[in-house]
Amino acid sequence: MIFFFHDIVYNGENYKNATSAIVGAPEWGNRTIMSSPNNFGDMIVFDDPITLDNNLHSPPIGRAQGMYFYDQKDTFSSWLGFSFVFNNTDYKGSLNFAGHDPLMNKTRDISVIGGTGDFFMTRGIATLSTDAFEGSVYFRLRVHVKLYECWKLL
Amino acid sequence: MIFFFHDIVYNGENYKNATSAIVGAPEWGNRTIMSSPNNFGDMIVFDDPITLDNNLHSPPIGRAQGMYFYDQKDTFSSWLGFSFVFNNTDYKGSLNFAGHDPLMNKTRDISVIGGTGDFFMTRGIATLSTDAFEGSVYFRLRVHVKLYECWKLL
Amino acid sequence: MIFFFHDIVYNGENYKNATSAIVGAPEWGNRTIMSSPNNFGDMIVFDDPITLDNNLHSPPIGRAQGMYFYDQKDTFSSWLGFSFVFNNTDYKGSLNFAGHDPLMNKTRDISVIGGTGDFFMTRGIATLSTDAFEGSVYFRLRVHVKLYECWKLL
């Protein structure tokens, strides 16, 4: 299963289009500009559309909802806690993710720590890659979800 | 196992009774009033009593401790990372939870991602329902914990 | 596997040496001094060196990166979401942790909720103990990682 999700960070002027917002920052940061250096300490809550291709304007098939924060002083790196939420004809339910995302790497793995509905009790790995990155406002992640534990409620 | 927990959000005037506090908010929010619309971006840390019935004043049998944040712009929805902490004659140990909570739904499922003590290495699902909701200050959640993986240390 | 990690909290004057920073706080707190009482509501993002012994100046073998927040009003207690990140000759990959840390207890257990690389799909328990604590700026945790589920990709 390959998905894309699209994040547009609020920068003080794009409230309508923004899909995420800085909600925590270190003392030297603020909530409309990423902190310097390397965004360390910035915490972002997001509500991002999920699409099946890399087009922001494709019909969303779900939402990626949760948070990430930047957790390294000397490079860009983050930590994610979020869910994929599906409610369509193909999938109903949620996948819960957590893990370390060293975003300067071409690919990186995070954990699928659980799921509900069609993804009841699942575990696995999601391989992330940055499919696009435009300044500090827009990025697009490609997510390859690989489920190794699947349960069926009889 | 069915439990209730009770959350009283700090609103600037109820410090003594409050069991939780807003600790992060978007640029347009603050830490004594939920942000508008739909509390999007507000992050709350909580230390809530757990009871066996729906009475806030029943003797607590443990604490629900962790955080939630509101992660949807166009409706009320949140994401939870927290633990149930027990230290009584029936249960000793903790249950760790994470997941998406679309709180306008009558029931919704989150993941039990692990446990310690009596709940060593457990996994499962917790079904949440909002048992009461009074403005933006008090709510009570009913939690039905269903453990599908249980371990015993010999 | 026993590790130590070292946390130096930013206090307004130690930017260069600090490995962590307060990024969220309740209305009565701020981002350079822990809130009173019991740091309740303070949320900290960290990027801490991991060492094999208890010496802060030993060569780091990895980084502990993530967040913790204080979640109890009447004593010191916290909740952790973080990863151990290894990229050396012995270990490559990450371990993802989550759970309740009642830090006044001599030892306490949190959950290993997943892993990547050499720790692909692992689960387990990490036993934490506070190895040193100097005011509100420096602490050192001893972490005994016990993995009960291990997978091998063939």
pTM tops 0.90, yes or no? yes
Chain C CB contacts of B151 under 8 Å are: 148
| pLDDT score recorded for residue B135 | 84
| pLDDT score recorded for residue C153 | 61
pLDDT reading at C42 higher than 90: yes
How far is B33 from chain A, CA to nearest CA, in Å? 14
Closest residue in A to C43 (Cα) is: A24
**Tens digit of pLDDT for each residue in B95-144?**
999 999 999 999 999 999 999 999 999 999 999 999 999 988 999 999 99
How far apart CA C123 and CA C107 sit, in angstroms, is 19
- Tell me the residues of A at the B interface, defined by beta carbons under 8 Å apart: 10, 12, 15, 19, 21-24, 30-32, 43, 45-47, 63, 65-67, 81-83, 85, 94, 96, 98, 113-117, 120-121, 151
Closest residue in B to C76 (Cα) is: B47
Look up the ipTM and state it: 0.95
How far is C73 from chain B, CA to nearest CA, in Å? 7
DSSP one-letter string for chain A: -EEEEEEEB--SS-TTT--EEEEE--TT--SSS--TTTTTT-EEEEEEEEESSS-TTSPP-EEEEEEEEE--SSS--EEEEEEEEEESSS-EEEEEEEEEE-TTSSSEEEEEEEEEETTTT-EEEEEEEEEEEETTTEEEEEEEEEEEE-----
**Tens digit of pLDDT for each residue in C75-113?**
999 999 999 999 988 999 999 999 999 999 999 999 999
| pLDDT score recorded for residue C154 | 54
| pLDDT score recorded for residue B154 | 54
Closest CB to A43 among C45, C94, C113: C45
**Tens digit of pLDDT for each residue in C66-77?**
999 999 999 999
Residue A75 or residue A135, greater confidence? A75
| pLDDT score recorded for residue B70 | 98
Contact A83 B100 (CB under 8 A): yes
| pLDDT score recorded for residue A152 | 72
Chain C CB contacts of A113 under 8 Å are: 96, 98, 113-114
Residues B53-77: what's their mean pLDDT? 97
pLDDT reading at A40 higher than 70: yes
Residue C114 or residue C89, greater confidence? C114
Q: How confident is the model at residue B152 (pLDDT cuts 50, 70, 90)?
A: confident
| pLDDT score recorded for residue A151 | 84
Q: How confident is the model at residue C152 (pLDDT cuts 50, 70, 90)?
A: confident
Contact B65 C43 (CB under 8 A): no
**Tens digit of pLDDT for each residue in B17-30?**
999 999 999 999 99
| pLDDT score recorded for residue B153 | 61
- Tell me the residues of C at the B interface, defined by beta carbons under 8 Å apart: 23-28, 40-43, 69-73, 77, 79, 81, 98-100, 102, 108-113, 123-125, 148
pLDDT reading at C137 higher than 80: yes
Residues B68-93: what's their mean pLDDT? 96
Convert C7-26 to b/e letters by CB count within 10 Å (16 or more is b).
bbbbbeeeeeebbbbbbbbb
Mean pLDDT for all residues in chain A:
96
What Å distances lie between residue C8 and A30, B131, C15, C17, C45, CA to CA?
Answer: 22, 42, 10, 7, 11
| pLDDT score recorded for residue A153 | 61
| pLDDT score recorded for residue A150 | 87
Closest residue in C to B20 (Cα) is: C41
The neighbouring-strand residues paired with B69 are: B43, B79
Closest CB to A79 among C30, C67, C116: C67
For residue C9, give the DSSP letter.
Answer: B
Q: How confident is the model at residue A8 (pLDDT cuts 50, 70, 90)?
A: very high
**Tens digit of pLDDT for each residue in A99-139?**
999 999 999 999 999 999 999 999 999 999 999 999 889 99
